Structure 1
């Protein structure tokens, strides 16, 4: 669980606003279907609900518009700062320190998603040596052909010695709003959508330096998930289970409270660290030297520090977690949405665990023993009956992390977009959001699974 739920709760409330009037008039119970009977019988996800577009090839980086950046070829094509386009001062709002920086930028071609979108979430994979950082922005076009401003979706560095990585609050044009890491249409019921967007990447470095950030993946997930309290039931596939390290966030309660009050709120970085280590990566002893040697699993503390968003004041910023995972050698990571539990099963059968985001009341997930307004866990397999095997970091110790949750309950709390809280008020759900990590050289089966989702 995470105590840093306010902005997720605010975002959820905004996305659920269209259903609030209906609730006031007499809401259906939480188990009532919000989808037509025909949709409830159809177990095939509609193809247009989610669109993934990521720039990662040498050809990709040579497209768009460059101002001082250069595409580089090789095993891992990327983008670097070649000739500064200008110089600027940046005052870090979290330290008060003003520093001068050289910068260069790259703007993607206009992308038209297969689905006019109510939400867009960006992801990036990069290396930022000391003395460098980056900023990701997005500008979209609405269905009425007007444009959004350039919204900042993250100011990021892998370390915290130059700037404090941060989201940017109070970004809205009255029609769409950035909620930490998610650009969302304010009133989805109005029919307004984003029909295209561009991403702008700005790379910064200390003036006069030759060091540069390197970015090898940049993109976004655009989606228009229908409002629903329940989702169609899926048919289970073959049983499978991956061997993934188990870490409890609760064994870190009270540790490093400057990072979101300590371990009780570290579900996201704890889950991220489990998957990083599943792929055989982990921080070095030198990188962990700052952690109190009395603390077990110091790499979880490390993940919390290096996913922490100083504006959000939490470790649950979705793209900051995927960016953290990609700082390890030859790793890639993105935030996306899956349209069904069947898609998640396909990933797991291919050998790719996923980190999922969900919210639920205690009675909605048998065996969890808690309720939450927002929580991340790692799906590692499925039983012969189709039930979900999850490494749930909200456990008393590492041994207790492996859980089995009832398929139908888990499927619904993950994929729905609306829910009722303990007071009967309509809140939002995350609608299938997850993190997916994979190495540069996935197996053929893994590549097929990733390709089927538009991730490679």
Structure 2
């Protein structure tokens, strides 16, 4: 999180084509999702040009592969599906061996590999952006690469874009995004594939995902992937968003951690705690769901530091190319390394969506940027910041665990509903210099049980996550 709008802070600040005025000029309908039973929140109706009621349409398409049947689809080269309570994809008989030179260490090593390529997924929303996320286990000596190849609305294809090279640990490779990926029509910005000029009408209409699983030659160890998917979206290009109607008064009991008490600690991970909003928020929700780190896992942290689990989260979400802890899919993947948790990156369309989730006991991590005067009570402005939404007051205002607080005790904040909704959902804003820059358009991390309850499953489905 950037305490002031200074480009040197990189918690959630990434260069993006959104910063160009031409970004996303074709509007999609902004809607709210149906709320899981019991929250009392309203469902927005839409009408056609004749005034007839039609079904709401979300400007977001989220598709994941998670089941044994899913893993048996697509194209396989050396991988195999495994059944069980948490079906997954593993290396069976490797397809071959290839060298990988780690750009952050200069080390070249040989790795056995196997691949799985998803079937083509046709997007229900022709999209200007796509974000891939995954959940996996990578024992020592293993890692994975996730790629996406899209088809444009004119029938041509993107290249295979690398959306992340990832391992849960950092002893084998340095987890990394890959810069300088573009075909002149779309570009990968850290973790987000974006159409370069949406005003042309060009969109992504479908995609495939390719997973490449790696292991050291001679070992029988393998990554296990439990979930992979992508969120495609065409969010309305806007400085302000429609106001939703409050429909829920509820607060979840989520641990409170401040990133600020870690300022100066482990500066090799994005300059220390000042920029750790994303891993700090992740750790809060991980522990809400019961995730705990062992004494052995935390042994590397200076014992004089409070809340060593926050330092651990920063280290193990760190993207060595982005040089920060704010890589969205890396945070979701980190959360899923905890027993019986899964995580996705998606976009939501209103605070009604968040009410749907809170009513089912699911907190959410939201990404936003704003000037100091745009969020009453925050006391700072930021070019990119993550915080955890844990509930709503009787007036409908947002209760958030904001890690940009001077102490753990000060983390719980109440922010005005209208202000919060606008800074989170808009796609454009003015920075402190008066320049038009990007907003995240409702980006959200969702962490939830590997086997959700019926109520949780219904709430997730209502916001487009299955």
Task: State TM-score, norm by structure 1.
Answer: 0.94
Quick one: structure 1 residues 331 and 140, their matched pair in 2 at CA, closer, same or farther if it must change by over 3 Å?
Answer: same
In 2, the alpha carbon distance for the partners of 1:378 and 1:133 equals 29
Gaps of 5+ in 2: 3-7, 33-42, 47-55
SS in 2 for 1:314: coil
- Offset from partner CA, 1:327-354 (integer Å, 9 cap, x none): 0001110000001110111101110000
**What is the aligned residue count?**
441
In 1, the alpha carbon distance for the partners of 2:153 and 2:177 equals 27
Give the equivalent residue in structure 1 for 2:21. Answer: 18
Match of 1:268 among 259, 278, 284: 278
In 1, the alpha carbon distance for the partners of 2:45 and 2:418 equals 16
Higher helix share: 1
SS in 2 for 1:294: coil
Quick one: structure 1 residues 266 and 369, their matched pair in 2 at CA, closer, same or farther if it must change by over 3 Å?
Answer: same
Give the equivalent residue in structure 1 for 2:98. Answer: 88
In 2, the alpha carbon distance for the partners of 1:119 and 1:83 equals 35
The structural deviation recorded for 1:44 is 5.2
* 1:233 is aligned to 2:253: no
In 1, the alpha carbon distance for the partners of 2:433 and 2:320 equals 31
Give the equivalent residue in structure 1 for 2:430. Answer: 420
The structural deviation recorded for 1:38 is 11
SS in 1 for 2:105: coil
Match of 2:81 among 51, 63, 71: 71
* 1:8 is aligned to 2:18: no
In 1, the alpha carbon distance for the partners of 2:28 and 2:217 equals 59
The answer to whether the 8 A contact 2:11-2:275 is kept is no
- Offset from partner CA, 1:236-280 (integer Å, 9 cap, x none): 012000000000000000000000000000000000000000001
* 1:185 is aligned to 2:195: yes
The answer to whether the 8 A contact 1:19-1:426 is kept is no
* 1:297 is aligned to 2:307: yes
Give the equivalent residue in structure 1 for 2:253. Answer: 243
The structural deviation recorded for 1:208 is 1.1
Give the equivalent residue in structure 2 for 1:219. Answer: 229
Show the 5 A alignment for 1:37-436: 47-436=57-446
The structural deviation recorded for 1:47 is 1.4
Give the equivalent residue in structure 2 for 1:26. Answer: none
The answer to whether the 8 A contact 2:144-2:165 is kept is yes
SS in 1 for 2:123: coil
Gaps of 5+ in 1: 23-33
SS in 2 for 1:115: strand
SS in 2 for 1:106: strand
Quick one: structure 1 residues 168 and 307, their matched pair in 2 at CA, closer, same or farther if it must change by over 3 Å?
Answer: same
The structural deviation recorded for 1:35 is 8.4
Quick one: structure 1 residues 117 and 155, their matched pair in 2 at CA, closer, same or farther if it must change by over 3 Å?
Answer: same
In 1, the alpha carbon distance for the partners of 2:364 and 2:321 equals 26
The structural deviation recorded for 1:424 is 1.3
Task: State TM-score, norm by structure 2.
Answer: 0.92
